[in-house]
Structure 1
Amino acid sequence: MKAVVCDAWGPPGMLKVQELPDLVPAPGQVVINVHAAGVNFPDVLIVQGKYQFKPELPFVPGSEVAGVIRAVAADVSAFRTGDRVIAFVPTGGFGQQLLAPAQSLIPMPPDMDFDTAAAITLTYGTSYHAIVDRAKLETGENMLILGAAGGVGLAAIEIGKALGARIIACASTDEKLAACRQHGADVLINYNKEDLRAAIKVATGGKGPDVIYDPVGGDYTEAAFRSIAWGGRHLVVGFANGAIPQLPLNLALLKGASLVGVFWGEFTKRDPQGNMANMRQLLRWLQEGKIRPHISKRYQLDEAAQALNDMAARKVTGKIVVLPQ
């Protein structure tokens, strides 16, 4: 089989497609023929050795896949060869075959395509855990989303709307904001053209957002947190800007506000049953048309490094996927 291999820490351009032996399942495992693999910002950090999780070299990057089971271990009874499944794994996604624990698999709904299936676990799983489990967003509340046109951002818009919230989407270009509008955002803020705090004040009638969804970090975090409503919840999702903000903690005191950490990957390990329940709800919403992953570009396996470079350069709207077959 062919796979993208990371054999040294560095920029995505160092990645190479290599021929590897076909995979064989160990007890409790299945082998999947990967038809689509989602690309995510953590993938950019992982190949550089800059993420919380640091795999042993060499490894195949990529964590979320959709495909067809090609082999199962003798002790696996819940799945069989030919089943269409979704898997989220630490590594291995950017290859034609993937080893995955059978207990981590999600059966694909019969009418779902592979691209969509590979685009739902990390972004929608992260956003659902953040908004529902951590922020406990309520109907009628205002939620401000920074970096709203990215994968987790568009997912957050749709989940917020499904829960009956009013969504204020912030992004860096009018083109990105147009995508936010298409996915349900009520108010749009271009923070390259507008003063963020002033625009938030207008958008919320001076009250401030009840929930801030922040996958960006950098200078936008403090400006948003200074605008938060009394008792608001600021979700710390990630730092796509590259800079980890240093917030004056007296702001939390003055607003009675909470800084709420969101680490979906660790949540899936500590509460796998809770994560599976979340994924089942997301799949129900998908079938009801309440969420619809936006896939802006598809890449062949030998273009995986370019996909990661595009992600790093923040050229991506919604999701992008690699097609290993």
Structure 2
Amino acid sequence: MLAYRISGTDRTLTCEDIPRPNPLPGEVLVRITACGMNFADLLMQKGTYQDTPALPFTPGLEISGVIEALGPDTDGPTPGTRVAIFGGQGGLAEWGCFPANRCVPIPDSMTDEQAAGFQIAYGTSHLALTHAARLKPGERLVVLGAAGGVGLTAVEIGAQLGAEVIACARGADKLAVAKAAGAHHLIDTDTQDIRETVKAIGGADVVYDAIGGTQFTDAFRATNPGGRMLLIGFASGDLPEIKPNHMLVKNISVHGLYWGGLLKTSPSVVTDSLAALLKMFEAGQITPHISHVLPFDQVPEALDLLRTRRSTGKVVVQTTP
């Protein structure tokens, strides 16, 4: 089968012909139909992601596909079932073996492409806003990187939860996508000052930050007393400086949210969250935004869309058209 691999110490991504795997006990063999791309895939290639596998490995954190076989003595969905799986790796291949307990059956109304990019983005935002920040209706939510893979879902879910959403992104085109997802206020980070603009609107009660760097600092300074800061990621490549004395004086909390970590330490919390999200999807309350769907031979181009921030929402690679 064909698979993209990172094998050498130069960490070059290459397409290789490797043996198709056989499922072990507790695993399922899946014919992969689509793979959702994430910023973490770029970090894995560089070796800087917190869960980077040992060399050699196949990147691709989340997939959709069809179960073809169960491993020995394995309970799981029957062969032929369409599923979405967060595997943490192995997605950029034609077939893969994954833990059976990671399989999430896909509703008939959800496409393979939507399913492939659903779990991480929506799961991260849903748990960040409901479990960590406990966002309440009427509160003011600032989303940094509001047109990105996770940021756009935060806008959408925040609006569904009744928050007043302030979307921060670069340029009119990306802000238009955030507005369509439910944002009430728009801030162009290329031309507007986040701190002053947010304060003029009334300040932030919750900040959802997938960017880091100076944007975190500006949003922190616009956060109201008792506010909550959500650390989701650092797409800017710049870790923000957090001043604990300012947190103390303003009674501000800072929460880190790593969805993959919760999947390991609190799986029932993640399972309940995904069940709630699938109900929201089937009710038409959330609609996954995919800006680019690329064929399997254009994986480098898919990663470059993330690297250069030319995408909005999700980028998905079709393994099987």
TM-score (norm: length of structure 1): 0.96
Q: Please give the residue correspondences for 1:213-292 in structure 2 after superposition, counting only pairs within 5 Å.
A: 213-292=208-287
Change (3 A) 1:9 1:135: farther
Q: 2:39 maps to which residue? A: 41
Q: 1:185 maps to which residue? A: 183
Q: CA deviation at 1:54?
A: 2.1
Q: 1 CA distance for matches of 2:275 and 2:162?
A: 19
Q: Please give the residue correspondences for 1:1-325 in structure 2 after superposition, counting only pairs within 5 Å.
A: 1-9=1-9, 14-204=12-202, 208-325=203-320
- SS for the counterpart of 1:151 is coil
* Larger RCO (CA under 8 A, 6+ residues apart): 1
Q: CA deviation at 1:264?
A: 1.2
RMSD: 1.1
CA contact (8 A) 1:4 1:301 kept: no
Q: CA deviation at 1:9?
A: 5.0
- SS for the counterpart of 2:130 is helix
Q: CA deviation at 1:74?
A: 3.2
Q: 1 CA distance for matches of 2:229 and 2:102?
A: 30
Q: 1 CA distance for matches of 2:9 and 2:125?
A: 29
Q: 1 CA distance for matches of 2:176 and 2:280?
A: 23
Q: CA deviation at 1:8?
A: 2.8
**Residue type of the partner of 1:274?**
V
Change (3 A) 1:263 1:40: same
Report how many residues are paired: 320
Deviations 1:174-226 (A, max 9, x none): 1100000011100000011111111111222xxx1110000000111111101
Q: 2 CA distance for matches of 1:10 and 1:148?
A: 33
- SS for the counterpart of 2:173 is helix
Unaligned runs of 5+ in 2: none
TM-score (norm: length of structure 2): 0.97
* Identical positions, percent: 39
- SS for the counterpart of 1:47 is helix
Q: 2 CA distance for matches of 1:103 and 1:81?
A: 15
Q: 1 CA distance for matches of 2:117 and 2:186?
A: 24
Q: 2 CA distance for matches of 1:192 and 1:110?
A: 41
Change (3 A) 1:189 1:39: same
Q: 2 CA distance for matches of 1:10 and 1:248?
A: 37
CA contact (8 A) 2:35 2:60 kept: yes
CA contact (8 A) 1:35 1:65 kept: yes
- SS for the counterpart of 2:226 is coil
